[in-house]
């Protein structure tokens, strides 16, 4: 899409955002979750994850991510295709009822079985990247716990600013979100650990228009304590053709 068309789409999105400038923090957070690359509702994305350790060692992975809203709850499915060691590994994340954490299921083809990711394990690394399981379909904080602060700029964009305590199942003490006013794409998320120290930072570094939507085409999650970072890039986007039955544990096993 040309720069002119993208600009026109952003203006249209901006008019819609202005009309709803007094939205609640929970409403803004929910809309922003559906713009994350691992949770693009109604779309299927082919993604590349490049993790750079503090010693400079680089690891690259590719996966396909699809998302769908079923009975009012977001369902996200991620399935890895490379490298060979993780090919076929799949993760299903189902948004929990209000006030409860997401339900996460992991399929390991070598074991040929699905296992639940315990709530106490949601803070662990997602497939050896700087993302955690708690980050897949969440902003790291419960919508109802977020409060809206004064608007600020982040990554050069005018943003709504939300802040709240981290989910019980995450490693986050406080989460601060900067959500683009025009597109609802989360432009930056600052995470503190339980001790109140800077922990991680998520940034959207490139926006892309797809049909009538604008999504994060490139983003990075940095671990400020370990010095590692994971770059996420969208390689390909298309409308999802998966039905409701694809977002089940039984479907994980079928591949």
Q: Report domain extents, the chain.
A: 3-254
The whole-number pLDDT of residue 135 equals 84
Render pLDDT for 181-229 as a digit per residue (tens, 0 to 9): 999 999 999 999 999 999 999 999 999 998 888 989 999 999 999 999 9
Q: How far is CA 128 from CA 17, 35, 131, 149, 228, in A?
A: 36, 23, 8, 33, 11
Alpha-carbon gap, residue 214 to 236, rounded angstroms: 14
Q: What pLDDT was estimated at residue 196? A: 95
Neighbour tally for 139: CB within 10 Å: 28
Question: Do 217 and 234 form a contact (C-beta atoms < 8 A)?
Answer: yes
Minimum mean pLDDT range among 14-23, 49-58, 97-106: 14-23
CA distance 74 to 242: 14
Burial class (CB in 10 A: 0-12, 13-18, 19+), 108: middle
User: Has residue 13 got a pLDDT over 70?
Assistant: no
Q: What pLDDT does 211 receive?
A: 86
User: Based on the number of CB atoms within 10 Å of its own CB, is 53 exposed (0-12), middle (13-18) or buried (19 or more)?
Assistant: middle
Query: Among residues 63, 1, 17, which one has the least CA distance to residue 180?
Result: 17
Per-residue pLDDT tens digits for 157-180: 999 999 999 877 788 999 999 999
Fold of the domain spanning 3-254? outer membrane lipoprotein receptor (LolB), chain A (2.50.20)
Residue 141 has pLDDT above 50, yes or no: yes
């Amino acid at each position: 899409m040309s720069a002119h068309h993208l600009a026109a789409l952003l203006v249209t999105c901006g008019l819609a955002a202005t009309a709803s400038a007094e939205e609640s923090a929970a409403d803004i957070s929910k809309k922003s979750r559906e713009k994350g690359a691992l949770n693009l509702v109604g779309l299927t994305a082919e993604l590349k994850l490049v993790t750079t350790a503090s010693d400079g060692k680089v690891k690259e992975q590719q996966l396909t991510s699809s998302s769908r809203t079923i009975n009012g709850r977001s369902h996200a499915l991620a399935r890895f295709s490379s490298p060979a060691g993780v090919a076929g590994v799949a993760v299903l994340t189902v948004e929990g009822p209000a006030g409860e954490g997401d339900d996460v299921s992991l399929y390991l083809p070598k074991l040929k079985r699905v296992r639940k990711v315990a709530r106490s394990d949601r803070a662990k690394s997602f497939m050896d990247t700087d993302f955690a399981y708690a980050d897949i379909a969440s902003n790291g904080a419960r919508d109802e716990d977020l409060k809206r602060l004064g608007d600020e700029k982040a990554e050069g964009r005018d943003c709504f600013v939300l802040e709240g305590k981290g989910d019980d199942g995450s490693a986050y003490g406080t989460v601060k979100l900067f959500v683009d006013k025009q597109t609802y794409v989360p432009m930056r998320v600052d995470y503190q650990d339980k001790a109140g120290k800077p922990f991680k930072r998520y940034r959207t570094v490139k926006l892309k228009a797809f049909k009538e939507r604008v999504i994060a085409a490139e983003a990075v999650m940095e671990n400020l304590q370990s010095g590692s970072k994971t770059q996420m890039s969208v390689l390909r986007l298309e409308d999802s053709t998966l039905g409701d039955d694809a977002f089940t544990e039984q479907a994980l096993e079928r591949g």
